Amino acid sequence: MLHFLSRLSDIATSLKWDSREMDFEEVYDAQTRERLQREFSRLKDVAYLDHTGATLYPEGLVEAISSDLRINLYGNPHALNSSSRLSSDVVEQTRERVLSFFGTSSLKYDVIFTSGATQALAIVANCFSWRDGQAYAYFAESHTSVVGVRQVAAQRGAKIIPITQEKIESIFNENSPIGAVGGLFAFPGQCNFSGAKYPLEWVEKIRQRGDWSVLLDAASLAATSRLDLSSISPDFVCISFYKIFGLPTGLGALLVRLGAEERLEKNYFGGGTVLMALASGKLRHESRPVLHERFEDGTINFLDIVQLGQAFKYFANLIPGGMSSVEEHTFQLARYLFLSLRDLKHFNDKPLAVIYQDNNFKSKTQQGPIVNFNLKRANETFIGFSEVLHLCNLFNVHVRTGCFCNPGACQRHLKMTVDELEQQFEAGHVCGDAIDLLGGRPTGSVRASVGYCSTKEDMDALVGLVKKCFLETTPSKDRSDLRLENLETNASKEPRLSRLFLYPVKSCGAQEVQSWPLDHKGLVGDRGWMVATDASTPLTQKTCPRMCLIKPTLDLENNVLHLSFPGMSDVSISILNDRSSNDSSSSKICGVVVQMVDCGDQVAEWLSLALEISGLRLLQQWSDDLRKQKKGNANLSLSNQSQFLLVGLSSLASLEKQVAESAAEDECCEGENLLQRFRCNMIVTGWPAFEEKMLRVIKIGGVLLKSDGPCTRCQMVCIDQRKGDKTVEPLRTIAAAGQGKMQFGIYYSQFRSMRDNQNIFVGSPVKKIEVD
């Protein structure tokens, strides 16, 4: 059996990065590093660099939690039986552990458990009592959840004062723009965009300006730095525990300084928060006197609190020196990454990376473990973050892209005006989408964030990838000649359909045919089946490149689907699945629920053996499932966006020429190899290169097709469909030629409903149809 290696060990040799001259000194001792390696065996050949989004939990912690839950009986803490008392005791012990972890005690703070940092902020937003003329002032480079407090504040009559980076120091002066009116001032301990740390002395400084309460967003800071509340006393502190320990993901806390609760007025009351309540007659209730008991509505997430208690215990022994060591370790790694990226320069001495930071990583007191950047080509045009992300995903380097729910920091660092941001929105760009460049300017960036379990090898993997995929070491031909207007070549008088492919099993190999029937979803059986994980989610080549080695053959005459895989016997299943006699299920394809039929245990075991993944199932779409396009009205099989994908052979030839100029010697990306990577249904000869982009309606034989627009490519085109190997090309060339738009091939759907069993034939003429 073939054994595919989709991993960073490939990068270690092919993406060589000589880091010997970089200044780096290990913080953890050898014993700690060895233990962390054992705890994170699942990170073998993975560089995980999204710890600010979610850090990772050690395997031993999962075992400790599992053992605890197996041994102990935890009941609802609102009851009075023995199991509930055990839960109550653990909850209160953990509450004290939280305070101790942050250098304080119940004599100074109370802990309100929440679902996360955002709910902690929402509690303050909804319950804070603004006095006449007071304000909500917030540092503009805060998380969206901090900015969002302003909506409630404005409704309550508070003045809204966003404070920019340029004005932040001025608020502590005599002529402060916020004045002495008082209210609520909010700021983050650490910027989740750039990693910049802000002086915690601001807490006391702002109080000196008047009747101000201070809200500290410590979610990002506390993840890798020691937060000592014995030296500062913010009124409210929001915390997210999974950012510190990796789990539990449904638990956070609002720490409230004793005395500050006087500014919180809670109206709603839920179960467990009252001493008594009358349901009718008098509308009376009496709230509980203890702060956290008044604010923790309903049954608290006591099993997650059990997990949190175990996390505190486990981490106390995991890393000598605790959070102080974590802070030094993560800073040194981030500084090393910063210096490594900063020093990468193209052949013309132009820097490859634009790094968004304010302090040159001089000190851990000023900078946290986040390196935020964009990349530029040698001609100083930006490389879109989506292009970077696709190649990172290809080589198992996990980063995050976008603006990271911090619009203020994103705006300043990317030098965007308010008008420009609104124009981007009107142009269709929204938070979290993949639109990375508008007018050649970035809409977001790439964030690499370091955690307690990160290693120098993780940093080297990212730098090596960036160097291999994007660093230009010699002048190269301007790839702009790949654009449509410059490629009016290879045209003939009679365009024809030259090749026809279907892909019976989504993300598996192609079946080439000379003719094939159509139905209301496209080619009969094309993407009619999919391989699903034990969670019923689709398995694709993005996570399992070996799928390309599975070769399906759909036999419509005998109603059988055959599957083959190197080194294994073939397996065959009937395509006439009766959902009344088979297990039915559902799955989501591009966010749409699709009704499926399970194809049985035999083929499931065959797939699990071939792909070396347990629990796989083969699912077939119901024949009458009416999944529709998101944009358009065509019926779809399990394909992502359209019924057909069409590519002109001249377009492939032009791309092949461009790729040949930049591909490495060990990257075979030409001819049939290149064609198969695009997984198209139709190849047309006789058109000029990229003519397909200009045609709204075409007719192939007797079949009318309408264009659904260009296909945006992802890292799957970098997978050699013959062997499953990963390469940098052709995605790099496509992105460069398209000025960041990674488009190649055109989607088509049937112009109107076709009668079933109408056939399409190789050799059929392809005609342009004029439509009004």
Provide the residue ranges of all domains of the chain, joining segments of one domain with +: 8-56+320-470, 76-316, 479-496+641-768, 503-621
- Confirm if 130 and 136 have CB atoms less than 8 A apart: yes
pLDDT reported for residue 11: 47
pLDDT reported for residue 4: 31
Question: Long-range contact list for 156-163, CB < 8 A, 24+ apart?
Answer: 156/130, 157/130, 157/132, 158/130, 158/134, 158/183, 158/184, 159/133, 159/134, 159/135, 159/183, 160/135, 160/136, 161/135, 161/136, 161/137, 162/137, 162/138, 162/408, 163/137, 163/138, 163/139
pLDDT reported for residue 18: 53
pLDDT reported for residue 75: 96
Q: Is the pLDDT of residue 416 over 50?
A: yes
Q: What is the pairing mode between strands 212-217 and 183-188?
A: parallel
pLDDT reported for residue 586: 62
Half-sphere exposure of 671 (CA within 13 A, CB side): 3
**Separation between Cα atoms, residue 159 and residue 161, nearest integer Å:** 7
What is the fold of 76-316? Aspartate Aminotransferase; domain 2 (3.40.640)
pLDDT reported for residue 132: 81
Give the pLDDT confidence of 202-258 residue by residue, as tens digits: 999 998 888 899 999 999 999 999 999 999 999 999 999 999 999 999 999 999 999
Contacts of 450 (CB under 8 A, 6+ apart): 49, 51, 224, 330, 333, 334, 337, 369, 370, 371, 458, 459
Selecting from 3.40.718.10, 3.90.1150.10, 3.30.70.890, 3.40.50.300, what CATH number does the domain 8-56+320-470 have? 3.90.1150.10
Q: Is the pLDDT of residue 534 over 60?
A: yes
Higher pLDDT, 3 or 661: 661
Does the domain at residues 479-496+641-768 carry the CATH identifier 1.10.3470? no
Q: Is the pLDDT of residue 337 over 90?
A: yes
* Average pLDDT for 275-279: 91
pLDDT reported for residue 163: 94
Q: Is the pLDDT of residue 640 over 90?
A: no
Which range has the worst mean pLDDT, 75-84, 183-192, 374-383, 649-658? 649-658
Contacts of 66 (CB under 8 A, 6+ apart): none
Q: Is the pLDDT of residue 565 over 50?
A: yes
- Confirm if 300 and 77 have CB atoms less than 8 A apart: yes
% of the chain at pLDDT higher than 70: 89
Helix (H, G, I), strand (E, B) or coil at 412: helix
Using pLDDT thresholds of 50, 70 and 90, give the confidence band for residue 487.
very low
Mean of the per-residue pLDDT values of the chain:
89
**C-alpha dihedral, 680 to 682 to 688 to 694, nearest 10°:** -80
Helix (H, G, I), strand (E, B) or coil at 432: coil
Q: Is the pLDDT of residue 748 over 90?
A: yes
Q: Which residues participate in catalysis according to the annotation?
A: 405
Which range has the worst mean pLDDT, 370-374, 417-421, 729-733? 729-733
Residue type, 684: V
Using pLDDT thresholds of 50, 70 and 90, give the confidence band for residue 657.
confident
pLDDT reported for residue 235: 98
Give the pLDDT confidence of 44-94 residue by residue, as tens digits: 999 999 999 999 999 999 999 999 999 999 999 999 999 999 999 999 999
* Average pLDDT for 464-486: 69
Q: Would you tell me how many other CB atoms lie within 10 Å of the CB of residue 228?
A: 12
* Average pLDDT for 445-468: 97
Q: Is the pLDDT of residue 115 over 60?
A: yes
pLDDT reported for residue 180: 66
Q: Is the pLDDT of residue 286 over 80?
A: yes
pLDDT reported for residue 3: 34
Using pLDDT thresholds of 50, 70 and 90, give the confidence band for residue 6.
very low
Tokens 């993005």, residue? Answer: 542
H or E stretch including 247? Answer: none
* CB environment 588-607: b (16+ within 10 A), e (fewer): ebeeeebbbbbbeeebbebb
**Separation between Cα atoms, residue 359 and residue 162, nearest integer Å:** 23
pLDDT reported for residue 133: 83
Pick from 147-151, 531-535, 633-637 the range whose average pLDDT is largest: 147-151
Half-sphere exposure of 764 (CA within 13 A, CB side): 20
- Confirm if 185 and 207 have CB atoms less than 8 A apart: no
**Separation between Cα atoms, residue 215 and residue 416, nearest integer Å:** 28
Q: Is the pLDDT of residue 344 over 70?
A: yes
Higher pLDDT, 256 or 729: 256
pLDDT reported for residue 625: 60
Pick from 339-353, 475-489, 698-712 the range whose average pLDDT is largest: 339-353
Using pLDDT thresholds of 50, 70 and 90, give the confidence band for residue 626.
low
pLDDT reported for residue 743: 87
Provide the phi-psi class of 405: left if phi over 0, else alpha when psi is between -120 and 50, else beta.
left
